[in-house]
Structure 1
Amino acid sequence: MVEPQVTIVVVPRERFSLTRESLESIYEHTHIPFRLVYVDGGSPSHIRRYLEAQAREKDFQLIRTDYYLSPNYARNLGLAKVNTKYVVLMDNDVVVAPNWLKHLVQCAEDTGATIVSPLICQGQPLHEEVHCAGGESAVLLENKNGRVRRRLHDKIYKQGRKIASLRDSLQRQETGLAEFHCMMVRTEIFEQIGMLDQAMMNTKEHVDFCVSVATAGGSVYLEPSSLVTYITGQPLQWSDISFYMLRWSDAWGLTSLNRLQEKWNLTEDNYYQHWYNGWSEYLVGRRKVFIIRPMLLKYAFGRAGGRVENTLVRMEKLLNRYLTTRYAQKHPEAVQQQTLTPLQKFPVTASLGS
């Protein structure tokens, strides 16, 4: 047998209910040798039993914790088990298309890319609507009124566009952004920049990683012949809700945003405060859309107005604070491990993607 060049590391993103669909797609549509490390952080018992059975049957390595994991912490647990030339970092709600991995490896071999992103789609039907077709990431220097300001910049290309309308413009190209839904990384880069920053607990961790790679002289490529889909829009199951609330919690977002500011020496001014407030509102908004509104539709028969929703949003914020505090009290070692990454400030400015 040919020795695998690639290890796939799958980690929890925000729910567990798509585990089976995602895992089965990997084994159905991956036609070159690979190793698999599956990180299971606190999944409900029926998912835990399914993964244990699949690990025995398919002979992959299963890493299990009985508590929830932040994304970069989970990825680092998997990365510690990788000794192949490449590693694919993938979320547990991603479904892959035939030959997806072969195309990623071919791109890396042809170009020497540090990171290769597939064409990441979103929703259903599968592989039809773009979520990320590359993009831009950088720390920009702006000179305004004689004062130099540092800004974090990121932009996703072609989100929401139909693939059928983009066939002529989608081609392999160097770009400036990849997302952790699915990316393949040349493993040696971690010897240069260190492991993923675990203090990036839920916000902009892909931007931080891409800027770090660019700062170290690495490159990012988009390989659109490789297709994967991030399944979004489906209702959460009850067993997903507690993880979802922690994953997109205000506390984890605050830790992430503070880390970005400190690490990249971002200028704290009105622009930064607006950006900071916007991301805080985004986290609340995610929980409102996926938790509060479905509950209103189900239990209030669609009659609840904005006043009721706003009241529930305020109540949820208090509940969210309670849940994150209780998590920290019950799992202090986990919290400590997830923020242990030593701070390394980067004084240089990364360039925009092409």
Structure 2
Amino acid sequence: MKKPQVTIVVSQRERFSFSRESLESIYEHTTVPFKLIYVDANSPRKIQRYLEEKSQERKFQLIRRDYYLSPNQARNLAIPHVDTEYLLFIDNDVLVSSNWLESLLGCAEETNATVVCPLTCIGKNFGEVVHLAGGEAHIIEHVKDDGRIKRKVHEKHYLVNRRVAEIQGELQRQKCEFAEFHCMLVKTDIFQKIGLLDEGLLSTREHIDFCMTVNNTGGSFYCEPASVVTYVPGLKWELSELAFFMVRWSNAWEVASLEHFAKKWNLAAKDRYFEKRYQRMGHRRHKGFLMPFLSYITFGWNPLWLQKWAINVERKINKVITDNYVKSLPHNYQSFSETNTRQQELLSSR
């Protein structure tokens, strides 16, 4: 068999319950040779057993941790083990289609791109609504009247929420400035230049940070709509799933991420870019679980006063859950920076 060009790295985005469907989609629709590394961060026993069995059957590398990991922590565990020309990051709630990987590799080879992303759709129906078709992400510097320079993030998503059937003529391979970790193909040697992913970004802005860092090294980005994948949101109302979801999108992780991102890129924390995100703090938890839960227990009667009261209570509960998560970490667990340093040393030694 031809030596694989690419290693697929699968990690958990915000839930566990779609792991089987996503992994089986990869094996069903991928015809080019590939290696696979699966990072399993504290999945419930049923999913853990499934992944262990599949890793034996399919001969892929399974990295297991018995505590939750942020997305970048999980990806960093895998990167030092990659020995192929390309690395493909994909979340465990994504379905792929025929020729998805072949199209990404073809684009990378023909354009010499550092990063290639597919047409990423969203929803329970495959390939119907666009979530991302590439976009723009860079820093804009503005000189104020007093001579000070204000730095702002410019971020734009192409064709977001458009129906694929209505925009076929606009779906062409194009150069862009960023991709998302739902699914992206990356030249592995870029990590020799930029190091590992920034683990200070726990829950948000990690894709923008990575892409701007790559851009600063002269790397290039393309979106290849001949490759189509679909991110399938949804949450199973099970304790293990909800606990991970609540930590993954906790206020604590989001605030820490935004503060770290602003400091790293020398951005004004009171900028509208950040204010909008602080105003919507917790919206993923509220949209993904709290509001559906209220509608369920009230049989659809969901007045605004009840929503506000529930959000206030949920924020307090979320803090307790996040605090308990920190207390549950193993005693020998190192800080993010120390863990990142150890992994960086392993990467550099290759």
Contact 2:235 2:241 in 1 (8 A): no
Q: Could you tell me how far apart the structure 2 residues matched to 1:117 and 1:283 are?
A: 28
Give 1:335 shift: 6.6
Contact 1:30 1:99 in 2 (8 A): yes
Contact 1:135 1:155 in 2 (8 A): yes
Residue of structure 2 in register with 1:230 after alignment: 231
Counterpart residue type for residue 111 of structure 1? T
Residue of structure 2 in register with 1:352 after alignment: none
Alignment of 1:167-316 (within 5 A): 167-232=168-233, 234-238=234-238, 239-268=240-269, 270=270, 272=271, 274-316=272-314
Alignment of 1:54-65 (within 5 A): 54-65=54-65
Residue of structure 2 in register with 1:320 after alignment: 318
Q: Could you tell me how far apart the structure 2 residues matched to 1:132 and 1:55 are?
A: 31
Question: Counterpart of 1:80 in 2: which secondary structure?
Answer: helix
Counterpart residue type for residue 305 of structure 1? P
Residue by residue over 1:185-217, the C-alpha shift from the partner in whole angstroms, topping out at 9 and shown as x without a partner, is 000000000000011111111000000000010
Q: 1:150 to 1:114 in 2, by over 3 A?
A: same
Counterpart residue type for residue 118 of structure 1? P
Residue of structure 1 in register with 2:107 after alignment: 107
Counterpart residue type for residue 267 of structure 1? A
Q: 1:53 to 1:283 in 2, by over 3 A?
A: farther
Aligned alpha-carbon RMSD (Å): 1.5
Counterpart residue type for residue 40 of structure 1? D
Give 1:241 shift: 0.8
Q: Could you tell me how far apart the structure 2 residues matched to 1:87 and 1:27 are?
A: 16
Question: Counterpart of 1:140 in 2: which secondary structure?
Answer: strand
Give 1:282 shift: 2.8
Give 1:236 shift: 3.1
Q: Could you tell me how far apart the structure 1 residues matched to 2:25 and 2:83 are?
A: 24
Contact 2:130 2:163 in 1 (8 A): yes
Counterpart residue type for residue 50 of structure 1? Y
Q: Which runs of 5+ in 1 are unaligned?
A: 343-354
Residue of structure 2 in register with 1:137 after alignment: 137
Contact 1:248 1:283 in 2 (8 A): no
Q: Which consecutive aligned stretches of 4+ in structure 1 deviate over 4 angstroms post-superposition? A: 332-335, 338-342
Q: 1:281 to 1:333 in 2, by over 3 A?
A: farther
Give 1:164 shift: 1.4
Question: Counterpart of 1:168 in 2: which secondary structure?
Answer: helix
Residue by residue over 1:198-247, the C-alpha shift from the partner in whole angstroms, topping out at 9 and shown as x without a partner, is 11111111000000000010000111101100002x34332311111110
Give 1:340 shift: 5.3
Q: 1:341 to 1:62 in 2, by over 3 A?
A: closer
Q: Could you tell me how far apart the structure 1 residues matched to 2:44 and 2:54 are?
A: 16
Q: Could you tell me how far apart the structure 1 residues matched to 2:78 and 2:294 are?
A: 38
Alignment of 1:25-44 (within 5 A): 25-44=25-44
Counterpart residue type for residue 188 of structure 1? D
Aligned length: 338
Question: Counterpart of 1:153 in 2: which secondary structure?
Answer: strand
Residue by residue over 1:250-278, the C-alpha shift from the partner in whole angstroms, topping out at 9 and shown as x without a partner, is 1111111111111111134x4x2x43332
Q: Could you tell me how far apart the structure 1 residues matched to 2:334 and 2:314 are?
A: 22
Counterpart residue type for residue 143 of structure 1? V
- % identical aligned pairs: 45
Contact 1:73 1:338 in 2 (8 A): no
Q: Could you tell me how far apart the structure 2 residues matched to 1:89 and 1:208 are?
A: 15
Q: Could you tell me how far apart the structure 1 residues matched to 2:212 and 2:302 are?
A: 44
Counterpart residue type for residue 212 of structure 1? T
Counterpart residue type for residue 230 of structure 1? Y
Question: Counterpart of 2:335 in 1: which secondary structure?
Answer: helix
Residue by residue over 1:113-142, the C-alpha shift from the partner in whole angstroms, topping out at 9 and shown as x without a partner, is 000001101002101111000000001111
Q: Could you tell me how far apart the structure 2 residues matched to 1:40 and 1:283 are?
A: 27
Give 1:280 shift: 2.7
Give 1:339 shift: 7.4
Counterpart residue type for residue 316 of structure 1? E
Counterpart residue type for residue 55 of structure 2? A
Question: Counterpart of 1:177 in 2: which secondary structure?
Answer: coil
Contact 1:236 1:290 in 2 (8 A): no
Give 1:334 shift: 4.5
Question: Which one is further off, 310-319 or 31-40?
Answer: 310-319
Matched, 1:336 2:335: yes
Counterpart residue type for residue 245 of structure 1? M
TM-score between the two structures when normalised by the length of structure 1: 0.92
